[in-house]
Every structure is written in C-alpha cells, then in structure tokens.
Amino acid sequence: MMSLLVVGAIVISIVLGYRTKINIGLFAIAFAYLLGCFGLGLSPREVIASWPLNIFFIIFSVCLFYSFAIVNGTLEKLAEHLMYRCRNFPHLLPFAIFFAAVVISALGAGYYTVLAFMAPLTLLLCARTGLNLIIGAMAVNYGALAGANFVSSQSGIIFRSLMTQAGLSDSQAFINSAGIFASTLIVPVVVLGGLILFNRRRGVAMATLDHVERPLPLNREQKMTLWLTLLMMATVLLPPIASLVAPNNAAIALLNSKVDIGLIASVFSVIALLLKLGDERKAIASLPWGTIIMICGVGMLISIAIKAGTIDMLGAWIGTSIPPVLIAVAFGVVAACMSLFASTLGVVTPALFPLVPSIAASLGIDPMVIFIAIVVGAQATSISPFSSGGSLILGSCPGDEERAGLLPKLLFRAAPLGFVAALLFNLLLTFVL
C-alpha cells in the first residue's frame, strides 16, 4: 500500500508541477515529509537527511564555476564563432548547430542554458536559410543534450552521482557515463545525417549563410575563462583515465582517490574570482536553482520510495515479467514515455537508475547497457512540447503564430522520430554488447 502511495506521490508531483508551473521538487519535498513521517514513521531529521547533499554540492560548485563563462559572454561568443566557420557549408548547417551546441554544453553551460541562448539563434537561422524547423530544433536539442552528458559537464556529473548512490564504484560510474556520452553523440549524427540526405533527395533548397557576420574576437576575460575551463576539465578527466590505463599504479590510484569534481570546481571558482573573470553576485544568481531544487527534491521522494520498498518491488516486477534480452529496451521505452512530460535529470534518471544494479546483477546484464538505454530513451522524447526541451524551444519562437505551428511538429513528428531512432539504437545495443 505504501509503495502505491509513493508512486502516486511522484506522479502527482509531476502533474501538479506542470499544471501549476510550480517547481516539481517542492511538491516532492512536501510528499517526502508527509509519507516519510506519517506513513513510514520516520523522524523529521531522517527525512531531512534524505536530501541528496552530495548531488547538491556537485551541481552547485560545478555550475558556479561554469557560470563565469556564461556571465562574461565566453560561451555565447564561442557559439557565434562556430556558426561563422560553417557559413560556406549551408547543407551542413544542422551539423554546425549540433556540434556548436555540443561544444558549448560540454564546456559546462548545461542543457537548459544552451537551449536558452541557442534555440532563438537556431530558429532565426531556419527562417533565413530555409532549413526545416524540425531538423533545426532536433539539432540544437540533441546537441545541448549530448554535450551536457559529457563526463565533466552538468548531466554527466549527475548521472555519475546517481550511479555511485546506486552502489557502483567511481570507476564503473565514469565508464558508464562515458558510454552514455558516446551513445548520445552517435544517435543524433545518424538521425541528422538521414534527415539531411532525405531533404536533399527531395530537392529542398537552402539559401546561403553569407549574412552571418564575422564575430568579434574573444576579449582577455573570455580567453582566460576558456583556458581555465579546459584546464579544469583536464584536471578532472586525466586522473580517472590514467587509473583505467594503469590500474596497478599506486601513485595514480592515490591521486585519483583525491579527485572530486565538486571540490576542484570550487577551487577553480576562487581562481576565476581572483582573476576577475566575472561578478560573484551575477555568477551565483545565474545558477540553475530551479533545476537543483527539482533534482534534490525528487531525490528526497525517491529516497522515501527506497525505504518503502517501492524500488525493490518495481525491480522485481521488471525482472520477472520481461525477457532478459528486452530489459534494456523496456527501460528505454519507459524512460521515453516518462520524458514526454517530465525532466530526464529531475525525474526519469533518479527514478530508474536505482533499479539498474540489482536487475543487471540478477540477470547477468551489463549495467552500462541499461543506463545507456534509459538516457537515450529519455532524451529522445525530451523535445516534446510538454517536456523541458520542447517548451524552451517553443518559448524561443518570435510570435504566437510561429509557436502554434511548431507545437504539433514537435509533438507528432520530432518526438516520434526521436523515439523510433532511440528504440532501434537500444535494440542494436542490446544484441551487440
């Protein structure tokens, strides 16, 4: 009975969040308190302790460092330069948009930030060049997602934290996160390539990009920010990679054990402030507080679900009702359906990732396959107008008429196309790995 109440609370939190436009995480915190204290008999202190402090600190510290690149215009200027470099290849514009979004997002801007400033630019380019709106929207959405999945960027960090909380080691989480990034990079390239070839065979013409003006060079603060960002990424990535290459080296193992991306980002934030690369108040104000509250609030409710046995019950049902060969595909389908209306980071992965280790161990499946299937499935339908990505793209439309025309295209063409591509990829992944 309690498990059903917890599942109902998660669903109601999502529904109320989207109907009232109030952060889903706030509803989740309220339900965690009511169900935890009055349903499971937990003390208020135990409910408060379910706040995922590790995830909160990592997101806060990493986003604080990357916010300097947002505040001083480094990421926006970099996007303009990447677009300008591709002006002589109009038919490759979707790939230019995609890879620009990947690079900017991987450098730490994160999914929502990239969409916020690149979606309007993409829709403007579609209007001026004749690029299909669906292709443009999918390119920028796919790119922002894939880049954010990089192991040292926002989504990749969250995935790794969720995996370690589910019981995986740091090295296993790192490898799985790298697999997720590679997969979400491959799927869009194949999909966009197919759409470009299809449109070219139909004879759809595009105008030139001669109107794209040469952007101004990066100033001192922007250059220093870019170099500091690359240095931080190297500091975070090199020790775990070296540990994988030389697992028996004691010095490398010691160094890797001391690496924590949250603490490293905090050090680099201090360096950025000392170098005067941005205003501290603006940097803190630009943090994705809404996303942080949503992820941590839902994390509290998921913690209550674990204590109530909901996760174990759901895992047992999946393990006994679905053939082992289709487990990963089933997870991908469930994630895709959830992502039509909910956030991948705030709802889908916190709910599904805890199920993976036990199911993978009992059925002899590589957990990385299931983790990849979940993220690929969830991000395939994130372009739905009822999900975070699609709503941001719709919000970038210049007028109500354009918005009304784009909504059905996102819902009935882009989301189903992404779902089919994800389903085929997950089937292939299941039988190859």
pLDDT digits (tens, 9 = 90+) for 247-276: 888 888 888 888 887 898 899 999 999 999
Question: Residue 90: which pLDDT band, with cuts at 50, 70 and 90?
Answer: low
The answer, yes or no, to whether residue 171 has pLDDT greater than 60, is yes
pLDDT at residue 287 is higher than 60: yes
Q: Convert the pLDDT of each residue in 128-143 to its tens digit.
A: 677 788 888 899 999 9
Angle in degrees, CA 410, 25, 22, rounded to 5: 65
pLDDT above 90 covers a percentage of the chain that reads 25
Axis-axis angle for helices 388-395, 111-129 (nearest 10): 50
- What's the confidence (pLDDT) of residue 273? 94
From 60, 59, 44, 61, select the one nearest 300 (Cα to Cα): 44
pLDDT at 388 over 70: no
Amino acid in the structure at residue 96: A
Residue type, 430: T
Provide the pLDDT for residue 212. 65
DSSP letters, 370-393, are HHHHHHHHHHHSTTSTTSHHHHHH
Q: Under 8 Å CB-to-CB from 184, ≥6 apart: which residues?
A: 142, 145, 146, 149, 375, 376, 379
5 pLDDT higher than 80: yes
pLDDT of residue 275: 93
pLDDT(211) > 80: no
Q: What is the mean pLDDT of residues 85-114?
A: 79
Measuring CA to CA, which residue among 346, 353, 305, 350 is closest to residue 331? 353
Cα 139 to Cα 121: distance, rounded to the nearest angstrom? 12
Q: Which of 2-6, 372-376, 377-381, 413-417 has the highest mean pLDDT?
A: 372-376
- Better-scored residue on pLDDT, 240 or 185: 185
Least confident of 83-87, 107-111, 203-207: 203-207
Residue 38 pLDDT: 92
Is 429 or 114 the better-scoring residue by pLDDT? 429
Res 367: pLDDT = 93
Residue 202: per-residue pLDDT: 65
pLDDT value of residue 246: 84
Residue 313's Cβ-count burial label (10 Å; 0-12, 13-18, 19+) is middle
CA distance 349 to 336: 11
* Alpha carbon separation from 307 to 43, 46, 87 (Å, rounded): 13, 11, 55
Count the Cβ atoms, other than its own, within 10 Å of residue 421: 19
By CB atoms closer than 10 A (0-12, 13-18, 19+), residue 271 is middle
The DSSP symbol for 218 reads: P
Closest alpha carbon to 91 in 132, 119, 137, 62: 132
Instruction: Look at residue 112 and tell me whether its pLDDT is greater than 80.
Output: no
Q: Which residue has the higher pLDDT, 121 or 168?
A: 168
Residues whose CB is less than 8 angstroms from the CB of residue 209 and which lie 6 or more positions away in sequence, other chains included? 86, 87, 88, 90, 93, 125, 129
Q: Which residues contact 139 (CB under 8 A, 6 or more apart)?
A: 94, 95, 97, 98, 101, 122, 188, 192
d(CA 302, CA 296): 10
What are the pLDDT digits (tens) for 309-330? 776 777 677 767 788 888 999 9
pLDDT at 372 > cutoff 70:
yes
Please tell me the predicted confidence (pLDDT) of residue 181: 95
d(CA 268, CA 236): 11
